[in-house]
Amino acid sequence: MIETENPKTTIKEIAMKQYYLGIEFGSTRVKAVLIDGEHRIVKSGDYTWKSSLENGVWTYHMEDVQTGLRTAIRNLGELPGAVSAMGISGMMHGYLPFDKDDNLLVPFRTWRNTITGEAAAELTEVLGFNIPQRWSIAHLYQAILNKEEHVSKISYFTTLAGYIHWQLTGEKVMGVGEASGMFPIDSKTRDYDAAMLDKFAALDKVKEYPWDIRDILPKVLTAGEKAGTLTEEGAKRLDVSGNLESGILLAPPEGDAGTGMVATNSVAVRTGNVSAGTSVFAMVVLEKALKAVHEELDMVTTPSGDAVAMVHCNNCTSDLNAWVGLFKEFSELFGMDIDMNDIYGKLYNNALTADKDCGGLVAFNLFSGEPVIGLNEGRPMFARKPDARMNLANFMRTHLYASLATLKIGCDILFKEEKVKVDTLYGHGGLFKTKGVGQSILAAAMDAPVAVMETAGEGGPWGMAVLAAYMVNKADGEPLEKYLSDRVFNGEKGIVMQPDPDDVKGFDEYINTYKAAIEAERAMVKALPL
């Protein structure tokens, strides 16, 4: 609590002088957000970066991690007061293994890689639980199957958020939501599933190594627990200006999935959210266990440890953004200086006037593989029938549909086969920055009401800052969902859009065309090797 010189200052006024910092390492931006005691954004700063494909592996360099961290903090500018607590979040999954001397053994392998198919399939069968290719345990086991030399030297492995938190605090811990993308979680214990740990440890190929899986995984913490303090060394890593001093409390590091759930008030049962940016995922908090194991569905958790069904797709807006960038080039060719936000707005809104089924056009936005449709590699591709209605509106609507196509295929399993119920889906991420457009397209894809909050475009880092505030301010026994409903959102539902039946029918027709054309995409991968 920040002290005040005025004894008549109210508790609310004191709270308003407290600040909370959330930092998220997304796929394209490192974003820092500072919020006040009423969870309002006070300042933000960011750093743009991107992954690179090196030796067939999608990666980020650790030097860029450090640069991104400091730049985002520096771009916050002068802070209005002391920071009471903070937290780190990042893109989930991936693989960062370290030896006993804390040396990184291989370059960071991100969630985007689809190089663990053999491991994921074998672990799914052994554990009786879907293990997607992007999960950390799949990366570890694939390295074992490949007989990679570094595996015998592993002392610890973690995710990007877990790594940064460790560097700032010295603590090898992880929020349960982020941990659920490393290894299966038992929602009853809020920890790694003990029986599955035993099954993994008993595998013949695993028993050859000197480490125990239980010893090299991060310790699991739930939302609200204290996860260490900023060390002097960590403070120097974070902020060379000295604005941020050591001793600041840190919340458990979380994944972008978990922070998105917080940012959209969707951590309670029968709520869900969709995050749409470089990748896209949908998460629904379950009332009961699913009837079957589906390779299209990840089973993860909320930051509190409740079971969540997740459809995660590796590709979303990258190809869409590339086409919009082409229109920007076109305008510059004619000497026009048009703001990118205006270009997005015009193109997106015009797409709403298009044929509901896109008029015979189809696109694949696949920069990388997409396990949901069985592809280990991807090639961006646009195609149309000779008699297709080729116009700008249909073209843009096609690429908007393509950004959500594989998500729809996965969610159709969740909603139509498993009969999972959801009251409202909350959308957040870059796709929803143009008011009403991404929202209506998503409502059509999911055939469900979609709400978008004011924080939709910056959900992740804001959600992490809120988790930091929850850690400090929660009442005894106050669950996260109550804190969010009562103190953060105050019952606000956001702007809700119901699905238009004609849009739903049109998207279904488009998906039939999309599914029929998957073989053409598969042929493109074969015809154009990397």
pLDDT, tens digit (0-9, with 9 covering 90-100), for 411-433: 999 999 999 988 889 887 788 88
Q: How far apart are CA 334 and CA 155, in angstroms?
A: 58
Residue with tokens 């909350």: 426
- Mean pLDDT, to the nearest integer, of 260-266? 87
Answer whether residue 338 shows pLDDT above 90: yes
Equal fold, 11-263 vs 318-452+500-527: no
pLDDT for res 454: 64
**Three-state secondary structure string covering 309-360:** EEEEECCCCHHHHHHHHHHHHHHHHCCCCCCHHHHHHHHHHHHCCCCCCHHH
Closest-CA residue to 181 (of 250, 253, 132, 127)? 132
Is-contact 23 89, C-beta < 8 A? yes
pLDDT of 429-449, one tens digit each?
788 888 899 999 999 999 999
Q: Which of helix, strand or coil describes residue 497?
A: strand
User: Which one is predicted more confidently, 224 or 489?
Assistant: 224
Q: How far apart are CA 89 and CA 87, in angstroms?
A: 7
pLDDT band at 3 (very low <50, low <70, confident <90, very high): very low
Closest-CA residue to 134 (of 159, 151, 157, 154)? 159
pLDDT of 95-107, one tens digit each?
999 999 999 999 9
Answer whether residue 14 shows pLDDT above 50: no
Q: Both tokens of residue 100?
A: 């006993």
Answer whether residue 81 shows pLDDT above 70: yes
Q: Both tokens of residue 238?
A: 């974070």
Is-contact 216 172, C-beta < 8 A? no
- Mean pLDDT, to the nearest integer, of 343-358? 97
List Cα–Cα distances, 13 to 2, 3, 10, 18, in angstroms: 10, 11, 5, 9
Per-domain residue ranges for the chain? 11-263, 318-452+500-527
User: In this predicted structure, which of 72-81, 353-362, 385-394, 462-471 has the lowest mean pLDDT?
Assistant: 72-81
Q: Which of helix, strand or coil describes residue 7?
A: coil
Q: How far apart are CA 319 and CA 404, in angstroms?
A: 12
Q: How far apart are CA 284 and CA 273, in angstroms?
A: 7
Q: Both tokens of residue 431?
A: 């796709």
pLDDT for res 11: 40
pLDDT of 199-217, one tens digit each?
999 999 999 999 999 999 9
- Taking the model in full, what pTM does it have? 0.81
- Mean pLDDT, to the nearest integer, of 56-60? 94
pLDDT for res 493: 63
First to last CA, the chain: 55
Is-contact 270 285, C-beta < 8 A? yes
pLDDT for res 78: 85
Answer whether residue 6 shows pLDDT above 70: no
Instruction: Report whether CATH 1.20.58.2240 matches the domain 318-452+500-527.
Output: yes
- Mean pLDDT, to the nearest integer, of 256-263? 88
Handedness of CA 209, 149, 116, 104 (dihedral sign): positive
Indicate the fold that domain 11-263 takes in CATH.
Nucleotidyltransferase; domain 5 (3.30.420)
Is-contact 390 384, C-beta < 8 A? yes
Q: How far apart are CA 174 and CA 90, in angstroms?
A: 12
Q: How far apart are CA 177 and CA 322, in angstroms?
A: 32
pLDDT band at 455 (very low <50, low <70, confident <90, very high): low
Q: How many CA atoms lie within 13 A of 283 on its CB side?
A: 33
